[in-house]
Amino acid sequence: MDLRETVDEAAFRLEARTWLEANVPDSSLPSFDTAEGFALHRQWEKKLYDGRWSAVSWPEQYGGRGADYIKWLIFEEEYYRAGAPGRVNQNGIFLLGPTIMEVGTDTQKERFLPTMASSEIVWGQAWSEPNAGSDLAGIKSKALRDGDDWILNGQKIWASRAVWADWCFGIFRTDPEAERHRGLTFILCPLDLPGITVRPIAQLDGDTGFAEIFFDDVRVPVENTLGEVNKGWGVAMATAGFERGVSLRSPARFSEAVNRLVALWKRLGDKSDTALADAVTDVWMQAEGYRLHTYQTVTGMLEGRPIGAEASLNKIFWSEMDVRIHEIALQIIGPEAERMEGPLERWVDGFLFSLSGPIYAGTHAIQRNIIADRVLQLPKGM
């Protein structure tokens, strides 16, 4: 155990910091869940890609730097420290990308990874359906084989980024006889094909960060299948594990948020309110605990101990922490907490966004079941 940075890691941090200081836009971009913001964020991703910072943990041949997970965490720390824009293509770069590297063919890697790293193609998710949310294995959307094509029919919902994204990835039922987790296939699909209708859904904050996608006899070549036919559940779960576990919410995001919260408390907090000071300290410890826990997890991954169902613990931890950070901030800012536009709007918007955390990528109820069943080995219920 040595929790100090190596010379190499420190040099990497400095390189990232220097580049970000020179390149991060001075003023924040509009939300990427607006048409204008989406375009500006795509431009920013291209700039990151040109500097080879868009996917630092990817191999160099696909536009990355071959950085290990520790360096990825260092990059994330610098990224949030610099106040850089949100990652509009996170569904692609952090979720689908690693899955393609794990199960994709060489042709698929060549075809999809470089355009993903540059955000020439921005990816949306198409997993949930109106009747398959927490019960994701209840998926009914179908893909029927017709020669060299799949013909897709059905409806997806809560599809993140789908309003302006170029492609989506999702799971479809390819064996109508098979039940539940069997007979599903992971398919990649352009969103501008005939037969596709994307209907934006306004989120709690009013932006259209997700959408419904209707598939009406949509034709996709079978070469867009990721992994084996009828084995899509396993492919999807690999993605979900990575999402819940490490990549979706890097600790840097929360370290940066609690640092802002401490600064807010110093500026506006009632110093005679010891309960408030305790609350700020508590979330500071949570963010620090999450950071340390992640470094430990990542060291384990580098040493050949992959993350399993414990990923569900992370997801509950960070999402509850995020809500708590913002609850305390709103307590401090008082009347400003009611305003969607104003000098402290970022905290209000952040609060609304934080409330999605305990729901998306598997609700808390589902995560607790996973922990109880797979980590604590309690008998299956339901």
Partner 1 sequence: MKFSFTDDQRLFAEGLRELLANECPPTLVRDVWENGTGHSPELWAHLSGMGVLSMLAPESAGGMGGSFVDAILLFQELGRAAVPGPVLEHMAVAAPALASTTFGASLIAGDSIATLWVDDSPYVAHAGVADLILRDDHVLESFRTTDAHGMDGGRRLFTVSGGNRTDATPNVAGLDPFDAMALASAAYLIGLSERMIEIAAEYARVREQFGKPIGSFQAVKYLMSDALLKVEFAKAPTYRAAFSASIGADTLVRDISMAKALASEAAYRTSRSTMQVHGGIGYTWEADLQLFMKKSWALMRSYGDANFHRRRVSGFVLA
Structure token pair of residue 270: 């009632």
Size of the site for partner 1 (CB under 8 A): 49
CA-to-CA distance for 325 and 282, rounded, in angstroms?
9
Question: Toward partner 1, which CB reaches closer, 295 or 360?
Answer: 295
Q: Determine phi and psi for 318, rounding to 5 degrees.
A: -70, -35
Query: Quick check: 303 binds partner 1 (CB under 8 A)?
Result: yes
Question: Toward partner 1, which CB reaches closer, 131 or 296?
Answer: 296
Element (H, E) at 302: helix 274-302
Query: Quick check: 260 binds partner 1 (CB under 8 A)?
Result: no
- CB 158, CB 360: distance < 8 Å: yes
Which of 99, 108, 286, 354 binds partner 1 (CB under 8 A)? It is 286
3-class secondary structure, 197: strand
Lay out the site mask for partner 1 across 262-281 (x = CB under 8 A, - = otherwise): x--xx----------xx-xx
Which of 9, 120, 273, 327 binds partner 1 (CB under 8 A)? It is 9
Torsion-angle region of 125 (φ positive above 0: left; ψ -120 to 50: alpha; else: beta) = beta
Q: Which of residues 15-74 bind partner 1 (CB under 8 A)?
A: 70
Lay out the site mask for partner 1 across 358-377 (x = CB under 8 A, - = otherwise): -------x-xxx-xxx-xxx
The most distant pair of C-alpha atoms in the chain lies apart, rounded to whole Å, by: 73
Question: Toward partner 1, which CB reaches closer, 196 or 262?
Answer: 262
Which of 202, 285, 339, 346 binds partner 1 (CB under 8 A)? It is 285
Which of 313, 323, 328, 332 binds partner 1 (CB under 8 A)? It is 313
Angle of helix 274-302 versus helix 251-268 axis, rounded to 10: 160
Q: Which stretch binds partner 1 (CB under 8 A): 2-10, 29-37, 56-64, 104-112?
A: 2-10
CA-to-CA distance for 293 and 336, rounded, in angstroms?
34
Torsion-angle region of 147 (φ positive above 0: left; ψ -120 to 50: alpha; else: beta) = left
**Distances in whole angstroms, Cα of residue 43 to Cα of each of 12, 49, 105, 121, 264:** 24, 10, 29, 12, 31
Question: Toward partner 1, which CB reaches closer, 13 or 46?
Answer: 13
Structure token pair of residue 14: 């400095």
Q: Which stretch binds partner 1 (CB under 8 A): 47-55, 157-165, 294-302, 343-351?
A: 294-302
CA-to-CA distance for 274 and 83, rounded, in angstroms?
30
Lay out the site mask for partner 1 across 190-219 (x = CB under 8 A, - = otherwise): ------------------------------
Question: Toward partner 1, which CB reaches closer, 6 or 131?
Answer: 6
Catalytic residue status for 76: no
Which of 19, 289, 307, 349 binds partner 1 (CB under 8 A)? It is 289
CA-to-CA distance for 273 and 119, rounded, in angstroms?
47
Question: Toward partner 1, which CB reaches closer, 200 or 289?
Answer: 289
Query: What residue type is 351 in one-letter code?
Result: F
CA-to-CA distance for 198 and 201, rounded, in angstroms?
10
Q: Which residues are catalytic?
A: 243
Residues at the interface with partner 1 (CB under 8 A)? 1-6, 9, 70, 262, 265-266, 277-278, 280-282, 284-286, 288-290, 292-293, 295-296, 298-300, 303, 310, 313, 316-317, 365, 367-369, 371-373, 375-382
